[in-house]
């Protein structure tokens, strides 16, 4: 067989993701707050773009030689190409800048210490022996988020090449650090350290903590028999232990849970008898193109500058177009969701209807991936509260009556309601819950009940009964 080289033309079709298309896809997946942050970064790179209520000059330092030619004039020649009302005709975005928004340090908070940093400050000067300092640092490095020691002393002794008793000596010193209970190897050791710190370590607590596992297993009678405590003594001990912290290290964990800000509002119009979907105007600034600045710099006549301006103007206009398309698509999807879930808006989760991404995609003529990006991390303010748009999608669960279906969310809600209404002294088993659901017109298998319980973080009937007995005992003692 003879090998040879030759040139050959071949025509094929392929999907090319251009930078503009990639930008449009990225914008679609951002919620309003993320979009505002993205736009603030974008206007810093494009001299023709401005956001109403955002002063980009406070973010950028311009040299004196550049200000004469490149500084944007304070003119009113703006091309107002995009705001929330450009697509919905309802909202005018933008916010009035305040002194606090102009000051880049106005909202800065002093950084809080981590658990390791807090303990490291207390360990300074605690040990005179360098070997003990090394052991202490290794123990500190093996603390978990809750403050517990996450390493076996035997394995640490082999790693460091020292005796386990020496590590025990260091550990006893470290367990005197604040907060009380850190460097514990078990819940029993953690709670015992806190009782000793509060000067509450009495024979009653010593007996109780020795058999703490029996209480966790709900074996109250066995616990009373082995400890020799009365029910009154046990109840008093439980009252004190309820005030202890089983995870002392979590008080130093960063609490970064900002409140959820809705991207859209659902409003009922009584006169027209219809639901209306609107954007949250406080999270959508207007995007402006400074045509006055463009004209002024263009007249300078420098070819390099004109080429650069044309590129930036094209980029700015494409951004405005992508923003407008994003707004229209989000409004269409939100309106479709509201139309499909009107019973939920009126009556709550129990009336949530089955709905899939494919259903919405077919109705709007969009791809499922586009619908998925639109509903991702977007929140809707409804009369029933703030919900992520994904909540309104749920697979169907067959009903007992022919051709009836229930959404998975409504079935889980019904399950939680049944468990709340059960007799805590004799809670429903999974088999009994299947029967109760059938009485409500929902046909589910036992394994589905078990799966939904785990999703809702509801324990088994045995664990629910044991928890109730412990709560009753604590209440009687108090």
Cα–Cα dist 246/249, whole Å: 9
Among all chains, which residue has been given the structure tokens 């951002």? 30
SS3 10: coil
pLDDT the model gives residue 252: 80
90-107, pLDDT tens digit by residue? Answer: 333 333 334 443 444 444
Cα–Cα dist 136/145, whole Å: 17
Cα–Cα dist 272/164, whole Å: 78
251-277, pLDDT tens digit by residue? Answer: 887 655 567 788 889 888 888 788 888
SS3 8: coil
Q: Which helix (H) or strand (E) holds 78?
A: strand 78-82
The residue count of the chain comes to 478
Which DSSP state fits 176?
T
Cα distance from N-terminal residue to C-terminal residue, the chain: 96
218: left (phi over 0), alpha (psi -120 to 50) or beta: left
Give the pTM: 0.56
pLDDT the model gives residue 71: 41
Cα–Cα dist 106/109, whole Å: 9
Q: Residue 401's closest CA among 433, 434, 430, 438?
A: 438
pLDDT the model gives residue 333: 92
354-410, pLDDT tens digit by residue? Answer: 888 888 899 888 888 888 988 888 888 888 888 888 888 876 665 555 556 667 777
CB 312 within 8 A of CB 47: yes
Chain mean pLDDT for the chain: 77
pLDDT the model gives residue 384: 81
Following CA atoms 86, 91, 97, 102 in sequence, which dihedral angle do they give, to the nearest 10 degrees?
-60
65 preceded by a cis bond (ω within 30 of 0): no
The angle that helices 220-227 and 461-477 make with each other, rounded to 10 degrees, is 50
Among all chains, which residue has been given the structure tokens 């949250």? 280
Q: Residue 139's closest CA among 120, 125, 124?
A: 120
Q: What is the pLDDT confidence band of residue 62, given thresholds at 50, 70 and 90?
A: very low
Cα–Cα dist 383/265, whole Å: 9
Distances 109 to 60, 253, 356, 437 between C-alpha atoms, Å: 22, 16, 43, 51
Q: Residue 146's closest CA among 249, 264, 63, 69?
A: 249
Distances 312 to 202, 266, 305 between C-alpha atoms, Å: 76, 37, 10
All structural domains of the chain: 19-61+73-96+284-321 (no CATH), 115-252 (no CATH), 396-477 (1.10.10.60)
Kindly tell me if the per-residue pLDDT of 332 is higher than 70: yes
pLDDT the model gives residue 398: 59
Among all chains, which residue has been given the structure tokens 């959508």? 284
């Amino acid at each position: 067989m003879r090998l040879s080289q030759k040139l050959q033309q071949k025509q094929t079709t392929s999907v090319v993701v251009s930078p503009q298309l990639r930008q449009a896809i990225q914008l679609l997946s951002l919620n309003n707050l993320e979009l505002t942050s993205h736009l603030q970064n974008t206007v810093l790179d494009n001299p023709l773009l401005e956001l109403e209520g955002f002063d980009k000059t406070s973010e950028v330092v311009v040299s004196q030689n550049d200000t004469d030619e490149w500084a944007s004039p304070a003119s009113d020649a703006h091309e107002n190409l995009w705001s929330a009302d450009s697509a919905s005709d309802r909202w005018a975005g933008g916010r009035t800048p305040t002194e606090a928004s102009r000051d880049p340090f106005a909202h800065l908070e002093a950084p809080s210490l981590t658990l390791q940093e807090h303990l490291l400050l207390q360990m300074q000067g605690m040990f005179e022996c360098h070997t003990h300092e090394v052991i202490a640092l290794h123990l500190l490095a093996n603390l978990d988020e809750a403050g517990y020691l996450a390493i076996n002393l035997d394995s640490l002794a082999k790693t460091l090449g020292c005796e386990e008793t020496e590590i025990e000596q260091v550990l006893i010193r470290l367990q005197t650090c604040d907060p009380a209970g850190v460097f514990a190897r078990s819940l029993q050791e953690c709670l015992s350290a806190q009782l000793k710190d509060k000067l509450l370590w009495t024979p009653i607590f010593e007996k109780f903590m020795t058999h703490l596992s029996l209480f966790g297993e709900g074996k109250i009678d066995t616990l009373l028999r082995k400890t020799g405590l009365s029910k009154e003594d046990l109840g008093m001990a439980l009252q004190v232990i309820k005030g202890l912290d089983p995870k002392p290290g979590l008080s130093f964990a960063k609490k970064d849970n900002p409140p959820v800000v809705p991207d859209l509002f659902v409003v009922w119009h009584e006169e027209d008898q219809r639901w209306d979907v609107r954007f949250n105007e406080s999270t959508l600034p207007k995007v402006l193109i400074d045509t006055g600045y463009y004209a002024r710099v263009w007249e300078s006549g420098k070819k390099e500058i004109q080429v650069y301006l044309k590129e930036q103007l094209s980029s700015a206009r494409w951004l405005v177009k992508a923003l407008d398309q994003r707004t229209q698509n989000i409004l269409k999807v939100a309106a479709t969701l509201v139309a499909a879930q009107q019973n939920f808006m009126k009556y709550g989760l129990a009336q949530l209807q089955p709905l899939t991404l494919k259903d919405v995609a077919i109705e709007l003529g969009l791809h499922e991936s586009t619908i998925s990006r639109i509903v991702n991390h977007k929140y809707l303010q409804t009369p029933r509260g703030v919900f992520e748009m994904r909540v309104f999608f749920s697979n169907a669960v067959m009903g007992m009556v022919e051709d009836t279906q229930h959404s998975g969310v409504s079935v889980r809600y019904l399950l939680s309601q049944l468990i709340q209404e059960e007799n805590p002294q004799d809670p429903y088993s999974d088999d009994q819950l299947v029967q109760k659901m059938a009485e409500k017109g929902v046909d589910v298998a036992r394994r589905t009940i078990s799966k939904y319980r785990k999703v809702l973080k509801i324990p088994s009937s045995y664990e629910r009964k044991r928890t109730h007995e412990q709560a009753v005992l604590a209440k009687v003692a108090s």
